[in-house]
Amino acid sequence: MANDWKERLGTVYSTNPDFQYNKDIDPESETLDPGKQDLRVQLDKKQRNGKKATLITGFVGKDVDLKVLAKLLKTKCGVGGSAKDGEILIQGDFCNKVIEILKGENYRVKRSGG
């Protein structure tokens, strides 16, 4: 095993001679096909100084694929935004436009209250 002491900083060690160190790395879930995704689109005004944002939740898959989808939405809406933790945030009220774009990409989409 390579010298991975930096990865194990803060780890409590066992005096058991049979102890095996296991890294707690969760494998990223595979990205579902667009037709199997169940996305929710809502208008979000919480903690944004009164500014509106379109929030897309329910994405199941790799972070890279989430960022690709976010980039597509931001480009087509002509605004900024972000993508992390399975959520995409688009600046402004673009709920209807986002739903149209996602349906055009064969995603299952529902509008939820917010």
What is the rounded distance in angstroms from the CA atom of residue 92 to the CA atom of residue 81?
9
What is the rounded distance in angstroms from the CA atom of residue 72 to the CA atom of residue 7?
35
What confidence tens digit (pLDDT) does each residue in 57-92 have? 999 999 999 999 999 999 999 999 999 988 999 999
- What pLDDT is attached to residue 69? 96
Question: Residue 12 — pLDDT band, cuts 50, 70, 90?
Answer: low
- What pLDDT is attached to residue 39? 94
Domains contained in the chain, CATH given: 28-111 (3.30.780.10)
What is the rounded distance in angstroms from the CA atom of residue 26 to the CA atom of residue 8?
16
What is the rounded distance in angstroms from the CA atom of residue 10 to the CA atom of residue 13?
9
What confidence tens digit (pLDDT) does each residue in 28-63 have? 678 888 888 899 999 988 877 888 999 999 999 999
Q: What is the mean pLDDT of the chain?
A: 85
b/e sequence 23-50, b meaning 16+ C-beta within 10 Å: eeeeeeeebeeeeebebbbebbeeeeee
